Amino acid sequence: MSRFTAPIAEQIWDMKYRLKQADGTPVDKSVEDSWRRVARALSASEPEHEAEFYEALEDFKFLPAGRITAGAGTGRNVTLFNCFVMGTIPDSMAGIFDMLKEAALTMQQGGGIGYDFSTIRPRGADVKGVAADASGPLSFMDVWDAMCRTIMSAGSRRGAMMATMRCDHPDIEDFIAAKADPARLRMFNMSVLVTDAFMDAVKSGGSWDLVFDGIIYHTVEARDLFNRIMRATYDYAEPGVIFIDRINQMNNLAYCETIAATNPCGEQPLPPYGACLLGSVNLARLVTDPFEAGAALDEAALDEIVATAVRMMDNVVDASRFPLEAQRQEALAKRRIGLGVTGLADALIMLGLTYGSDEAAAQTEAWMKRIARAAYLASVDLAKEKGAFPLFDAERYLESGSLVHMDEDVREAIREHGIRNALLTSIAPTGTISLYAGNVSSGIEPVFAYAYTRKVLQKDGTRTEEEVVDYAVQMWREKFGDRELPDYFVNAQTLPPMAHVKMQAAAQKWVDSSISKTINVPEDISFEDFKDVYLAAYQSGCKGCTTYRPNAVTGSVLSVSEASDKAPEIETGGDVVYISEPLDRPQALEGSTYKLKWPDSEHAIYITINDLVVSGHRRPFEVFINSKNMEHFAWTVALTRMISAVFRRGGDVSFVVEEMKAVFDPRGGAWLGGKYVPSILAAIGGVIERHMVATGFLAGEGLGLKSDPRAEVVNLGLNRPGPACPSCGQYEMRMVEGCMTCTACGHSKCG
């Protein structure tokens, strides 16, 4: 019997977490092999715990972040950490570009990164010694953005970045308005660092100074600036808001670090060079007697899994590689981990509780407190065994905001024995791992859709449809058949915004880092009511706030009927579909061969592109690149294999052209056909593009990915379908946990 409860779960495992050889041959024959590989790798220093680790992983009870599941025990030179905040950016040209290099190296190994750009002098400020004016932090963010587009991170994921700026920086208004240009800063999530003093000025109607280096550049009305932030978020879904003073006040390590940025999804506020690894307890798997009068969460099992998870994640700190030595030193000095939950909404449903109700909020707070207690006590036990984290200072640690409301027995244990991990809890995005675990609800989000239809192109060219069903809904069907869903089955589209805020605040009290969550608001919400959501988040103790309001700019979200557990069929609006396996090559294919002569090269390059016909339409299937110049041999063979592999996976593969055309050669490009081409790779990309245009796959030159599909959402069954997922081609992109995520394949804008 397969451990997977849904076809999509097995497909996610096969695509993202299953260990394979370079040629695609599976090493992990089953998901049990994957669990065993991870358990063995994380228990290498203490093999007596391997069986305990395996048991926690078994049946998806504990879900390490995808980077751990995919990388542990593989021998690959990758980091197992998900989140990084980079070093403080110096206000100098040399320092800025040193930071750019560090960012590239970190993203190359698969790390999502955050930066505070508040340290760069504002646009127009004097640059001493060169008789020039500064270009400002936004111009350097453009440089970061361009760099990120060219870096393919480990695991075939795009780099993900967070940019923050203080609310008192002189360029804050430009920062707020940056995403009004849909082509700018595509690779960034952006958030404003909002201080308590600013919120007080907003409340009192006071003025607000914009300051850098002690110099007041402008003075504005605080409410006007707040309204600018809110209007941009209302219209473009960015910037988010981070309540930075609260983060620093509640930080267990306030005595030895200052935080000014977060990772891309916001759940990990981190100091310079801070890193954190993530994992989630699957609450949906721990409910006994679901939907019955005696339904309950098995709290003893929860305590046991939390304790095991803390030990496993602590071992990851030592087992992982790091892109930079400064990141390794920071991680070892504080041993941060981010243990969270997924399946919360499903667990509440199984108990008959309505997400967003007072009862559900109280239950959420109680569960999060139990997890926090178990995690801290487990870390104390590790400190007894292995020692406290090196920067531990008992009195100052226990005076931190996050510890003051902890139970006295836990505080006393910390005082007596120390603690192994400075921070332990966080609620991270779990879009992909929640699909892998059987489509449980993500993180602490409500259920987004009870079910939806997914179309899959099979190897023989036929299409099949499969229903992807929420975990709790599937359990209800197995137990009660077609009986109508009770009223406590609610979804993200039917919940009032304040219900989201209530649940985020309930969880935040016992989370020592932060929470990645999206507050879905209706399109027709008034601007004043929209602002009230942020004010309520601040007043209720949240550390940040991210909303999503569908509109003509950001796109539409999934629409599900309250009365039905069935989602409407997908209106694809096109033939781009996800291919479950690479298609077999037919005996004969149609194609064309093109000659490319690069200046100063003795031999021409010949590019052959063969096409597959699907539903009467030609699409690229494979590429062959040949030249008599042996200097080109290795990279042309590699390029042939990589591009062909991408083409055979299907979906919108026009990004291959866009990425190749963006490659520049530091030695200089060449003029071809009256156009400057920055590199020979860009020239090959141009040839492939022209072929795609000639065969009708693209509408015209330059009409590939003109805007980032990952920055928009699409609907199911609405009249305004948006673009497809850039990874699998399905129309399943939606905003969840602060990040654009595909429910079909788990692709995430935030890496």
Residues noted as catalytic: 263, 265, 267
Q: Which two tokens stand for residue 702?
A: 């330059």
C-alpha separations of 130 from 123, 126, 585 in Å? 15, 9, 61
Q: How far apart are CA 39 and CA 85, in angstroms?
A: 28
Q: How far apart are CA 170 and CA 225, in angstroms?
A: 12
Q: How far apart are CA 296 and CA 313, in angstroms?
A: 27
Q: What is the DSSP letter of 575?
A: S
- Contact criterion met (CB below 8 Å) for 210 and 168: yes
Q: How far apart are CA 696 and CA 705, in angstroms?
A: 15
- Contact criterion met (CB below 8 Å) for 87 and 326: yes
| Closest-CA residue to 745 (of 718, 161, 734) | 734
Give DSSP secondary structure letters for 461-482. Answer: S-EEEEEEE-HHHHHHHHHHTT
> Which residues on neighbouring strands pair with residue 646, listed in sequence order?
none
Please give the distance of CA 597 from its chain centroid, rounded to a whole number.
42
Q: Is 331 helix (H, G, I), strand (E, B) or coil?
A: helix
- Contact criterion met (CB below 8 Å) for 284 and 241: no
- Contact criterion met (CB below 8 Å) for 296 and 410: no
Q: How far apart are CA 100 and CA 148, in angstroms?
A: 10
Q: How far apart are CA 694 and CA 327, in angstroms?
A: 49
Q: How far apart are CA 174 and CA 709, in angstroms?
A: 24
Q: Which two tokens stand for residue 289?
A: 């007697």
- Contact criterion met (CB below 8 Å) for 592 and 477: no
Angle, CA 610 vertex, CA 607 and CA 612 arms, to 5°: 160
C-alpha separations of 533 from 231, 354, 511, 549, 598 in Å? 13, 20, 21, 12, 58
